[in-house]
Amino acid sequence: MTKGKPWTHEEAKRLLKLVAEGKTIEMIVTDLEKSRDAVYVKCRRLGLVEEEEGAKGHTTSSIKLPKELPSIEEALKVSAGALQAASQAGLDKVEVQKLQTIGSPRNSQPILLA
């Protein structure tokens, strides 16, 4: 998979704003000068995409901004709890990877942008 130019904080903030304003994917792609796939993937990572059940590929029913985002303190508590749970004995590899993903500081970025 080829990686493009990384998203800046400003671009991510702009994406959130455009989605909140109800802009279409075509308008967002044009405004941010990113590919359709890059915008879709970023929206999915930020939790802005509702996928249709059983859909394959990039089919979505809509892109919505969450009504209420957690506070920074709440997000850090979730992150710390996930990392602590990942260090417990008896978890299989997949459970540990899921908890580490939740606890990753990279996943806190969208919360800090809000």
Give the pLDDT mean for 29-46: 89
Q: Calculate the alpha carbon distances from 87 to 24, 76, 95, 97, 106 in Å.
A: 42, 17, 11, 11, 19
Q: Which structure tokens are listed for 89?
A: 């004995």
- pLDDT range class, residue 31, cuts 50, 70, 90: very high
Q: What is the pLDDT of residue 101?
A: 73
End-to-end Cα spacing for the chain? 29
Q: Tell me, rounded to whole angstroms, the distance of Cα 33 from its chain centroid.
A: 19
pLDDT in tens, 46-101: 887 765 544 555 555 555 666 777 788 887 787 778 777 877 788 888 887 777 77
Tell me the one-letter amino acid at 83.
L
Q: What is the pLDDT of residue 114?
A: 38
Q: Considering the entire predicted model, what is its pTM?
A: 0.44
Q: Calculate the alpha carbon distances from 58 to 4, 37, 54, 61, 85 in Å.
A: 18, 8, 12, 10, 32
Cβ 81 vs Cβ 96: under 8 Å: no
45 pLDDT above the threshold of 80: yes
Percent with pLDDT over 90 in the chain: 7
Higher pLDDT, 14 or 108: 14
